[in-house]
Each structure stands twice: as C-alpha cells, then as structure tokens.
Structure 1
C-alpha cells in the first residue's frame, strides 16, 4: 500500500474499536438486536454436539432448496470472506476486473494470490450506475447491492455482463436487506459463462462472530472450490445457522426486517437532506447510506467525541476523504446521531 493507495484491509469494525467502549456503532452493517432469541436457542442447543465432526448435509440441502438449485451448486463457507479467498486461489484469468467502489476484500484476496487486478470505477455523478466493463475481462467481480454505495443494480444490467469464457462473481451479501431480493441472480442458472453468487448470513442475523456464508455456482466450479477448502471448514453451530436461516419462517422474518429497514433508511435519507453541505449519490437500497461531506475525515473524528462511530470512505477505491458510510438504525438512534452531526458541523 502506498500513500495514494487505499487500505484494502480496513473494515468497519476498526472504526468501533478505535473509539474505545461505548460508541454507538454506525460503522458496521450488522442488524441490531440480533441474533434473535430463537436463533440463539438453536445455536446453544448445538453445544452438546461439538464432539462430533460437522456434517454439512442438512445445511447444504436447505440452502439449495431456498434458491431452487441442486445441492451440487452450493458451497458453504466460513463467511463470504472465505469465498473470496477460495475464488482467488482456484480461478485462473488473464484479465481481472473489479468494479469499484465496492467491498475491498475481493481485490485484496486476488492480489494476495498473485493476480493482477484492473479497476473499473463507477461515477458518483452518475449515481454509481453500472457501466461498461472491458470486453476482454474474463473475470469480473462486483457487489449488488454494493457496499459502500448502497446502490442496487438492476438484475438485467448485472446479467448482461455474463459472457461465454467469463466468470462473473456477484457479491450479494446484502441482498437479503432488499425486500423481495428483487434484483438477485441467485435463482438464475442459464446465463452464459460461469456466474457465481456469494451470500452472507452474518448481516441480517447478527452472526459476524460465527462466520457463515455460501457460494452458488456451476457444479464443477463448486467442486473445485470445495477441494481447496480445509476439512470441515464450517462449524456445527454455523451449519445449523445456515439450515434454519434458510427455512420459510426465517425468510419471512428477514423479509419483514427488510421492509422495516427500508422505512428507517428513507427516514435517514430525508433527514440528511436537511444538511446543505452533505449529499447522497444514487438511491440507497441496503442497510447503509454513503454520503459526501467536505472535511468528512475531521467530522468522523469529532463524531467519536459525541459517541458515534461511522465508516470512513477513503479506504474504498474510487472514493476519498470526503466520504462517510452510515449504517441505518432505528429512528431514535438516527435522531441522536443527527443531533450529534448538527453539533459537529455547526462548530466547524
């Protein structure tokens, strides 16, 4: 990393730890109040089974059924982050493109594996709308909805990037924050080339410490990725989480949470519009909002003094020091944050 190169290994949890105890966390996008009680109880019930080696059968079947795919097209992983590492180790490509701004771990994993990465930078003035990707790209990675922009790309636009001879990797870690998951490619199995969809269960269900995610893709590629994993890569509690969070009751709860999130996000965006110096680009669709604010780096430090942690934007390629990512919370928390923001801005 040079002085002009973003720190691809910086993540939102560092913002909370850097401020010490007691900060209101608007830097990490895990849903508050999670895991729910019923999920905690199911996880606690697995403690008596920890002497046995994990068996993925039921969890893979549940995830496959949830997306209407054969079991052979599902790979369970230790969070979506492990999936990025596996893809970087297994895939061979001549021209790799990562569409930014987006979650930085895919590019970091690719670079760690010795790949050369080309960046396509989306424009804030264009609302971070998905644009052209070089035709010669044989591996393309993008997020949908994208972290940190919160922009939800139309499924048609994402699917149009699929090509014979190309692997298209779509990070849908936040798709379950979108009501109806309406732009997901997870159910599509007939697109040209190889289309790989990554999912995470850590955000909606509050399982960042448990680490559970999965990959959907063509069976031969899934088998190759699985062969690159160590034995028993996913713990018994994480497998139970994958199973129960893929069932109808959990999906209904997630859908309700997504609907509530949309209302809370609309409230936050409406209130942010009252600050003349601050601007939201694009139409946020996930559990966070990206804003541009002159002097954002100093504002972020002052917000810590008022008890709030927000995510810096300059570690994302295509952004800079004038960007902040703010997690969506309940209206009471949002009001307290807005009061703190007003106090900070009025004193600068």
Structure 2
C-alpha cells in the first residue's frame, strides 16, 4: 500500500513535544535506528571548516569505504551527503519500466519513483515481482529486520539486468551484520546504498554511499555537483570507517542491548524482528503504549500501515534504560491509560 500524504519519520522531537506537552524533559528519542553511542569524533583542524573539501580528502574517504564495505575493484563508489539524496536521484538516472519495492519498508523508496512518474508497486513477497524491471529491497529491512539471501538477490539482479533495469539494495543497517551484504559479489545491474550515520551514531554528519557500475556512480557524482560532501564529514568518515576495532566492539555491545530490549518488551507483545539498532514490537495495545511512554518523555516510531507496530530504538545511558524500564513497568501495572 502506498502511503499518501506525510510519511512518518523518526527523530522529530518537535512533534513529540506537541503531542505530549506535559512530558518530562529531557526527551529520550527511541524513534530512530541510530546508534545511541556515537563514534568518538577525532580532532579536526580548523582548516577543514575554512576551505572547500579537497579531492585528496574525498579519495581517502572512498578508499576507507571500499575497504570497509569490501567493494570489488571493478565497481564504482560515490559519497553523498546522506543516502536520502541518492534515493532521490536514482529514479532520475536508472533505467526504464515498472518498479517493485519490497515492503513494508522505508517509505521514501516508493515515493521517489512515483515523484518522477514511474510506475511503482509495493509488493509483500519476491514472488510478486512480476514484470518489474527495477526492484528495490532494504536488506536487512527496516522495520522488521527481514533478510533476503544472497542467492535470491543474485537471481533478481539477473532478471533486472535482462529487463534493462536494476536491483537496488539499501544496506543501511548492514554494518553490524555484514554477512547478507551483496557488495563483495556485486552482480551486474546492482546498486547498493550504505549509510554511515546510523551505525556510527553521527546522523547529523550526513554521509552515505552508492556502490555499483562505474558509469552510474559517476552519473550520481555529476548530478550532485562538486563539493557535495562537507570536508569535516570526509575526514570523520575516513577515520571511522578505518576503525574496524571500534565497529566490532560497538556491534557486540549493540547486539547485547538489543537482547536486553527484547526482554523488556516481551511482556507487552511480540517482538517480530529488527536489527541490532532497533526492535519491532507488535501489540494490540500499541496506541495506548505509545501514548503512555510519550507522557513519560519517551518517543517511539509509529506506523501508518500497521497500527499494531511500535519500533523501539536503543537507549544509550543507564539513566535512559532506567526510565524506559520504569515506564514499561508502570504500563504493565496500570494498564492502558488515556490516549
């Protein structure tokens, strides 16, 4: 189902304050899938803020990204100020024919194809691809963590290639679970998107990548124009992507946090999936639980396509875990309150 009108995104604390004007501050924003423990920013020279981004800085970032994501030498890679701009640009540059988006998933994928006049269908299973020339898959998926196997991705890529289309795989949440990534075996007619800010807890840096045929990545680079990525983002990204020890330690810590969150949520419904950065709860009490936690200053992600769903990001500090645990215990004790 294509959602009409506004797409609900996480991270909008102004909306949270409007909904729950009397909630205690500070708010705990659990509505995003962003690592709550961010990568420690390296010292940045003042010159990075005073000059235009340099070609050497961009080359260093792309080299670090190639190594971190295991990009084949034959593939192209381009950096962008966040993956959203790449999601917007791909429909203007990529192929012809109908598009299929495996859903439920990030709502902007369907919308960007519709905005340029393409026929885009939302499908529930890969058996419904039909005559689509281009197929969009988020892997692991947001919000339920669904994973499509490499074997299935390769088969779909071959089908898209034969139809002069493309397989677009959004791997925004693949950093902590890289096994399903299609990048090392990148088939023809395949474009992979990678997000930096979610894993490294630096979403405000605005940094993302597209990996695919060099002609396409060069076209994306040209469409964005010169100096698309800010100099500080180039430097921070290159440093963080080369820090494999931090990534391994953060991945193990967030997996433990996700298991802890599952245990807290289990009495309130069914945890239907997620990733190491978020968990998806299904419950008939979702509207009441959303309102209850909102009144306690905890903001969750709701869904227009299924009112039974609530997505929980991870708390960061011990005090945030304590507030969430106390609020959930209060809901279990009192039952659903007024919305």
TM > 0.5 between the two? yes
CA displacement, residues 274-295 of structure 1 (integer Å, 9 cap, x when unaligned): 23xx1122x4333111111114
Question: Aligned partners of 1:9 and 1:298: how far apart in 2?
Answer: 21
Give the corresponding residue for 2:123.
Answer: 120
Task: Tell me, yes or no, if the aligned pair for 2:37 and 2:316 is still in contact at 8 Å.
Answer: no
Question: Aligned partners of 2:149 and 2:252: how far apart in 1?
Answer: 19
Task: Tell me, yes or no, if the aligned pair for 2:8 and 2:303 is still in contact at 8 Å.
Answer: no
Give the corresponding residue for 2:209.
Answer: 214
CA displacement, residues 169-209 of structure 1 (integer Å, 9 cap, x when unaligned): 1111111132xx111112113x2x41111001101222211
Give the corresponding residue for 2:101.
Answer: 98
Question: Aligned partners of 1:295 and 1:10: how far apart in 2?
Answer: 20
1:302 maps onto 2:292 in alignment = yes
Aligned pair count reads 320
Task: Tell me, yes or no, if the aligned pair for 1:90 and 1:228 is still in contact at 8 Å.
Answer: no
Task: Tell me, yes or no, if the aligned pair for 2:157 and 2:189 is still in contact at 8 Å.
Answer: yes
Once the 2 structures are TM-superposed, how far is the Cα of residue 231 of structure 1 from its aligned partner?
A: 2.1
1:33 maps onto 2:28 in alignment = no
Deviates more, 1:72-81 or 1:330-339: 330-339
1:205 maps onto 2:200 in alignment = yes
**Partner-residue secondary structure (3-state), 2:54:** coil
Alignment map for 1:137-148 (pairs within 5 Å)? 137-148=132-143
- Please, what is the CA RMSD of the aligned residues? 2.3
Task: Tell me, yes or no, if the aligned pair for 1:29 and 1:327 is still in contact at 8 Å.
Answer: yes
**Partner-residue secondary structure (3-state), 1:312:** coil
1:136 maps onto 2:144 in alignment = no
Distance 1:30 1:46, change over 3 A: farther
TM-score after normalising by structure 1: 0.84
Match of 1:270 among 257, 260, 263: 263
1:111 maps onto 2:114 in alignment = yes
Task: Tell me, yes or no, if the aligned pair for 1:9 and 1:108 is still in contact at 8 Å.
Answer: no
The runs of 5 or more residues in structure 2 that have no matched partner are: 18-24
Once the 2 structures are TM-superposed, how far is the Cα of residue 32 of structure 1 from its aligned partner?
A: 1.5
Give the corresponding residue for 1:13.
Answer: 11
Distance 1:286 1:156, change over 3 A: farther
CA displacement, residues 48-107 of structure 1 (integer Å, 9 cap, x when unaligned): 453234322222222223324338610111111111011021113211011111111222
**Partner-residue secondary structure (3-state), 1:198:** strand
The runs of 5 or more residues in structure 1 that have no matched partner are: 123-130
Task: Tell me, yes or no, if the aligned pair for 1:60 and 1:71 is still in contact at 8 Å.
Answer: no
**Partner-residue secondary structure (3-state), 1:280:** strand
Give the corresponding residue for 2:328.
Answer: 341
Question: Aligned partners of 1:268 and 1:182: how far apart in 2?
Answer: 23
Give the corresponding residue for 1:128.
Answer: none
Give the corresponding residue for 1:127.
Answer: none
**Partner-residue secondary structure (3-state), 1:216:** strand
Task: Tell me, yes or no, if the aligned pair for 1:140 and 1:169 is still in contact at 8 Å.
Answer: yes
**Partner-residue secondary structure (3-state), 1:311:** coil
**Partner-residue secondary structure (3-state), 1:162:** helix
Alignment map for 1:30-109 (pairs within 5 Å)? 30-36=34-40, 40-42=41-43, 44-45=44-45, 47-48=47-48, 50-55=50-55, 56-66=58-68, 67-70=70-73, 73-109=76-112
Question: Aligned partners of 2:95 and 2:227: how far apart in 1?
Answer: 25
Give the corresponding residue for 2:311.
Answer: 325
TM-score after normalising by structure 2: 0.86
Give the corresponding residue for 1:252.
Answer: 245
Alignment map for 1:275-286 (pairs within 5 Å)? 275=268, 278-281=269-272, 283-286=273-276
CA displacement, residues 263-308 of structure 1 (integer Å, 9 cap, x when unaligned): 1111221332223xx1122x43331111111142232122111121
Question: Aligned partners of 1:286 and 1:271: how far apart in 2?
Answer: 15
Question: Aligned partners of 1:176 and 1:160: how far apart in 2?
Answer: 23
Task: Tell me, yes or no, if the aligned pair for 1:80 and 1:200 is still in contact at 8 Å.
Answer: yes
Task: Tell me, yes or no, if the aligned pair for 1:176 and 1:255 is still in contact at 8 Å.
Answer: no
Give the corresponding residue for 1:161.
Answer: 156
Task: Tell me, yes or no, if the aligned pair for 1:54 and 1:235 is still in contact at 8 Å.
Answer: no
Match of 1:289 among 279, 301, 306: 279
Structure 1 runs of 4+ aligned residues shifted over 4 Å read 46-49
Task: Tell me, yes or no, if the aligned pair for 1:295 and 1:321 is still in contact at 8 Å.
Answer: no
Distance 1:34 1:321, change over 3 A: same
